[in-house]
Every structure is written in structure tokens, then in C-alpha cells.
Amino acid sequence: DPDTAIGIASGSKLLTSVTILSLVDANLLNLDEKLSKYLTWLQGYPVYQDVTLRQILAHQTPIVADSVYDSTQSLTLEQAVRKIVEENPFSNFSYPNHYSSSSYKFIAHAAEIVTVQKWEAIFKERIANKCDMKNTFFDRFSDNPDTGKGAQSSLNDFSHLMEMIRDNGQYLGEIVLSADSVKELEKLQAGSAQYGLGTWVYPEFKETMSTGAFGMRAWVNRNNNAYAVIMTMKNDSGAISDEFRALVRGI
């Protein structure tokens, strides 16, 4: 039913992005600051030390796409990030920038450092509670959340999130994000062909979209001030989603 929590795969990236942006609004993080300012131990790794938070959210880094440590429950988030670096030190090779779920763990760990809280608590306090998302979580059973592709959410919950974005950072009158942060979220980022901050961007339609491999699609259309969410029980739902998006554009 509309309150059933299901895996949303890469839809998790939007949840992570809005959480990070709330910390940017609070001046606890800076999108254009190097990751190594927060994870100081990265200063000994040439490639990692120059990566910025913005580049992570926009998939403009060489960090591995996926890792066996992304959801290992016996590790903490910090331990998992360190394991990824140890196995991929980038000391002798130059990798091209690419889409990466694992990289979102790094930015979540930066959030843990500046707030002195665990990621799940940060997300709940800053986003879930404010947007009435009672059935959305990253990992209730360990301290190593898969912030790039491991969250669960419900149709109603994700609709609340998209309503907040559509309403420029407010949900039922409460400010969750600044309007400026929402604009950054929806802006095509430098070096990206079709990506904002945790979202896909389609400037020709004034659309921002979050997608999950298990059949979740959610977007905001600025032309007609509409938002929509689809959750299906099949992962090849792209055609269904595209047809529905066309209908929403025509409202």
C-alpha cells in the first residue's frame, strides 16, 4: 500500500543530497570545499584529497562505482569508507570520472563528522521528521548505511519529499531547505551532461528526476508546477514512467 517501505535503489541519492544540502544551509558543510577538509586522513591520497562535495553529488569523481563494503553491516560508515580507499588508493592510475554510488558514503561520513551524529539520525532529524516520512530509512540495523543505493521509502513518503522540492524547500509551511539549495539541486552541474546534485536534470522540460533501479521514478516539473512519483514492482518500468511523465508534462 502507499505506506509500505520498499527498496528505492538510486533514489537514495536524492535523500542523501537533500540531507547534505540542509547541512550546507546550516553552514556546517560547503559544497565547494575539499572532502579532505572533513576527512583529514584523506590528505595522504592524491586523488581523493582534491575531490569536493559538489563533485561527489554530481558524480564528477573517479571513486569506484560500487563496493562490497557499501552495505557490510559489521562495519561502521567510517570503517567502510577507509576500506574502499585502502583497496582503491589511486596511487598509480588515473581514472575517468563516472557515476558512483560508493562515493555517496564519503559525503555521508563528512556529515557525521561535522554533526557528531550517525547518518540515520542526521537524516531523520533534518529531512524525515520535517517531511513526515515515517517509513523511510537507510539502515536500521547497522551503522554502515548504503547512502548511494540502499534506502527504503514508501510512495507517500517520497511524495512528501517531492512536494517539499516542488515548493522550493518548504513542506506544509516548514522550511526544510533554502530556496537557493533547491535551485542548486536542480541545476545542471559543471562537467555533467544530465546531472544536478543527486538528481537527473532535463532543462528542456524544466524537470528534475530521481530514479531507482527497482522501478521507482519521481520528478518535479517546473513548467506546470507539478510533482509525481511512480513505484512499480518491476525494474524495467522505464517505458511506463516515460509515458506517465509525458502525461504530466501535458497537464
DSSP 70-110: TT-TTS-HHHHHHHHHHH---SS--PPPB--STHHHHHHHH
Q: Give a yes or no: residue 64 inside a domain.
A: yes
Cβ contacts of 46-52, under 8 Å, gap ≥ 24:
46/90, 46/91, 47/90, 47/95, 48/85, 48/90, 48/106, 51/103, 51/106
Confirm if 28 and 233 have CB atoms less than 8 A apart.
no
Report the number of distinct structural domains present in the chain.
1
Question: In the predicted model, is pLDDT for residue 91 greater than 70?
Answer: no
- pLDDT at residue 83 in the model: 96
Decide if 77 is inside a domain. yes
Which residues lie closer than 8 Å to 9 by C-beta, 6 or more apart? 149, 212, 213, 214, 216
Grid coordinates belonging to 132: 513526515
Share of the chain above pLDDT 70, in %: 97
Instruction: Give the mean model confidence (pLDDT) for residues 142-161.
Output: 96
Assess if residue 75 is contained within a domain: yes
Q: What's the pLDDT at 93?
A: 57
Closest CA to 73 of 150, 154, 20: 150
Q: Would 34 be classed as within a structural domain?
A: yes
Give the tens place of pLDDT for each residue, 214-250.
889 999 999 999 999 999 877 667 788 888 888 888 8
Residue owning grid cell 522540460: 205
pLDDT of residue 191: 83
Question: Does residue 179 lie within any of the structural domains?
Answer: yes
Of 50-59, 87-96, 122-131, 183-192, least confident by mean pLDDT is 87-96
Asked if residue 1 belongs to a domain, the reply is: no
pTM attached to this predicted model: 0.95
Q: Does the pLDDT value for residue 11 go beyond 60?
A: yes
From the CB of residue 5, how many other CB atoms can be counted at a distance below 10 Å? Answer: 16
Enclosing domain of residue 155: 6-249
User: Rounded CA gap, 44 and 84, in Å?
Assistant: 14
Evaluate if residue 92 carries a pLDDT over 80: no
Is 214 inside a domain boundary? yes
CATH classification at residue 157: 3.40.710.10
